[in-house]
Amino acid sequence: MEGPLQTSIHVCHENAQWMSKLPEKLWDTPLFNLSLPGSHDTMTYCLDKNSAVSGNESKLVKFLNKCMPCIVRPIIMKWSITQVLTVTEQLEAGVRYLDFRIAHKSSDPSTNLYFVHMVYTTVIVQDILWEVLKWLETHPQEVVILACRNFDGLTKKLHCHLITCIKQIFQCKLCPRNVVPTLRTMWQRGYQVIVSYEEDLEVLKHCELWPAIPYWWGNKTTTHALIQFLELMKQMGRPETFFVAGINLTENLRYILVHPFGSLKTMTLRSLPCLKIWVRKQYPGPQKECINIIAGDFIGNDDFVRDVIELNTKINPQLDCPSKGSGPKSISFSAF
């Protein structure tokens, strides 16, 4: 059963430095065996309502948007926005995985790159990377994963431009992929940024880039179906390194037609109570059914980030992941 609609937005600043407050027994646990909160389609809080529809959308969507913009454009916006907090606010709230969908506008002669989700953002990628760096400089023991994906319209030249920007901005904060990313190692070497890059040929050229991080995307319109999908994926077994369990629902044309006054936000907020229960039952760790990154929409609307962080209290580095039905271990953090 879907829960009641909640609309309050709050940023829990107490989670801004949660990694630095983890108990020492977890400092040598690889980050891919910890529980990390993430945001799905991180940059959709600043979509440009006046921008063109992105190049990889269907011809039908482009045609309808061109013929009936006054009707179609508001619908696109309602179902494209997945976040309302800025990237700095998300980091401050405790999010440590940022889902960056990057694109180049086909009509733009410049090398400016944007974020995209059906339409493009008002901000360019380079400015957001600088914003992330500024936040990291005031939080020296926090580690952020930047998942660079999509790459609609990017040529080899633009990939080179983007990677050059990443290297120039983050410099020695970039963790090479041959390093086992434990907190102790990251802190000792000054690493704060892990960049996964969804373009294999570019990853091979640059040791600072990590392979694309698998994202368990259910493509479901109901909470029940999404949870079934996630449980099935767990039964199949987690990857050995980073991966994301996406607790984001996804609309389709039928759902939009049946809910003409709905939006992705109302769809998401009604699902939160059930998803909260599922999240709290999870265990991080290396075993088959353990989780790593959990990413969601509208991360400021719930205790989602706190719940994901607190899953780390269940970790005992000396023991295997607990079996189903066993209670959480009596491990506690310093006060957040």
Q: Which residues are catalytic?
A: 40, 117
Separation of alpha carbons 202 and 235, rounded Å: 32
Separation of alpha carbons 260 and 22, rounded Å: 45
Concatenated DSSP letters for 161-175? HHHHHHHHHHGGGBP
Strand partners, 215: 244
Residue 74, helix vs strand vs coil = helix
Q: Which stretches within the chain are classed as H helix?
A: 59-67, 69-78, 87-93, 125-137, 156-170, 183-189, 200-205, 223-236, 253-258, 264-280, 304-310
Q: HEC string of 255-296?
A: HHHHCCCCCHHHHHHHHHHHHHHHHHCCCECCCCCCECEEEE
Q: How is residue 176 annotated by DSSP?
A: P
Strand partners, 193: 144, 174
Task: Please name the residues in contact with 66: beta carbons below 8 A apart, sequence gap of 6 or more.
Answer: none
Q: Tokens 């949870």: give the residue.
A: 227
Residue 123, helix vs strand vs coil = strand
Between the alpha carbon of residue 195 and those of residues 275, 288, 334, the distances in Å are: 28, 25, 29
CA angle 143, 145, 147 (to 5 degrees): 170
Between the alpha carbon of residue 75 and those of residues 101, 118, 183, 248, the distances in Å are: 20, 11, 43, 19
